[in-house]
Amino acid sequence: MSYSTKNYTADGGNRTVIGGVLEIAGGKVIKDGQEVSLGGNQSEPGPGSVTNEMLADKSVRSRNIGTGSVMEEHLNSSVLDRLKAIEDKLKELAGSQSDGKTE
C-alpha cells in the first residue's frame, strides 16, 4: 500500500502516523481521560510544592527534589517509622549476639 501523504491512519483507525512534526499550539494531549505532560521546559518545583502524594505516585523525579530534602528532618513519618523499625531490629540482633558470647 502506498501513501501520498506523510500523515495517515492505520490499523483500522487505531494508529495515526505523523511523518513530520506534530505541533500542539495551546492544546493538550489526553490519554485515558487524563492530561499527559510531554516534558519540555518545566520549571523547578517551588518550595513546599512537592507533596508526599507526589513522591508516593513517583510523579517527582529525584533530580527535582533538591538539595537537603533527604535529610532526616525532611522525611515523612512513614519513612521515619520504617527506619526506626530497622534500627530497633538491628539493636535486637546485636544484643542477642552479645548475650550468647562467652569470654
At residue 24 the predicted structure's pLDDT band, cuts being 50, 70 and 90, is confident
User: Which residue would you say has higher pLDDT here, 10 or 70?
Assistant: 10
Q: Does any domain span residue 99?
A: yes
What is the model's pLDDT at position 85?
95
Quote the pTM value: 0.31
Q: Does any domain span residue 19?
A: no
Q: Does any domain span residue 39?
A: no
Q: Does any domain span residue 42?
A: no
Q: For 36-92, what is each residue's pLDDT tens digit?
A: 877 665 566 666 777 777 767 766 666 555 555 666 776 788 888 999 999 999 999
Q: Does any domain span residue 79?
A: yes
Nearest to 19 by CA among 28, 10, 29, 11: 10
What is the model's pLDDT at position 2?
62
Q: Does any domain span residue 78?
A: yes
Buried b / exposed e across 80-91, counting CB within 10 Å, b at 16+?
Answer: eeeeeeeeeeee
Phi, psi (deg, nearest 5) at residue 5: -125, 155
Quote the domain boundaries for residue 74. 70-103
Number of domains comprising the chain? 1
Q: Does any domain span residue 15?
A: no
Q: Does any domain span residue 83?
A: yes
